[in-house]
Copies of this chain bind each other. A is one copy, B any other.
Amino acid sequence: MLTRTSHLFDDATRVTAGDSRWQGQTSEDYWAFVGPFGGATAATILRALIDHPQRSGDPLALTVNYCAPIAEGTFDLDVRLVKANRSTQHWSVELTQGGAEVATLATAVFAERRPSWSHQQAEFPKAAPFEQIVPYSRVAASWVKQYDFRFVEGDPNFGGTPPAAPPNAFSKLWIGDRVPRKIDMLSLMAMSDAFFARVFHARRELVPFGTVSLTTYFHASAEDLAAEDISRILAVADAKIFHKSYGDQNGELWSPSGRLLATTTQIAYFKA
């Protein structure tokens, strides 16, 4: 069992509790090109909800709309329980800085996950073991350094000569924290935004890019996930279309044991 204390990720997604207003701060360790790594922002929002005294049940769905860049420093999270019933809670969170306009807008659903018929229709992706794959080492932004990416398929080859093959946005990879940390809902949330931009893969080059809206569904209860006791996931990500400056991404996050932990989708801006 890995210890969770003083991990960079926990520092980066730390929150200070309030009543409806919580505080967080950006982290140099999880910095992207023009702002914080979106996955760290999403995980910070999720942490505020999980830690909230009124929270009940497990995270089921989180949608994060990235409205404007977040500047380095502290931010406020206006956390609101919009509606609760016997088995589900609906939350909204607005991230602001210095009383300015909303920079990030999120909605979340928490649910009591009662026993039911269970069926996993998706197939576990075949992959060589983590240990047999060379870690990805070309680090462009500080947040990339915090992860141990091991590409099984769709190895990033950005900046290479575009081959004659048709564009292919598919990737299959292992993802762990660079400093191993037990996978929890927070790291799943962050990892669901830790795929490189599909447009980078499809075009094999870096282009201006920004996630606009991200939705992640959790398919394991907190108890299920804790029982897995893992420090990395096997993930696949793909895109269906790039058109008029926006493209999609859809992904699956798997436990090494073959359990589908989360699915994620996003729509993103690109310039190409």
Contact = CB atoms under 8 A, between A and B. Distances in A.
Contact of A109 (B113, B212, B263): B212
Contacts of A117: 203, 242, 272
Contacts of A115: 244-245
A120 B244 contact: no
Interface stretch (A83-91, A131-139, A143-151, A181-189): A83-91
Contacts of A63: 63, 107, 213, 215
B119 A202 contact: yes
Given A83-B102, A90-B105, A241-B219, A263 B265 contact: yes
Contacts of A272: 116-117
Interface of A: 60-61, 63, 65, 67-68, 82-83, 85, 87-88, 90, 92, 94, 101-103, 105, 107, 109, 111, 113-122, 167-169, 202-203, 212-213, 215, 217, 219-221, 224, 238-246, 248, 250, 252, 260, 263, 265, 267, 269-272
A38 to B, nearest CB: 14
A121 B82 contact: no
A164 to B, nearest CB: 15
A63 B213 CA distance: 9
A213 B91 CA distance: 12
A34 to B, nearest CB: 13
Contact of A121 (B167, B215, B265): B167
Contact of A107 (B68, B83, B107): B107
A68 B85 contact: yes
A155 B252 CA distance: 27
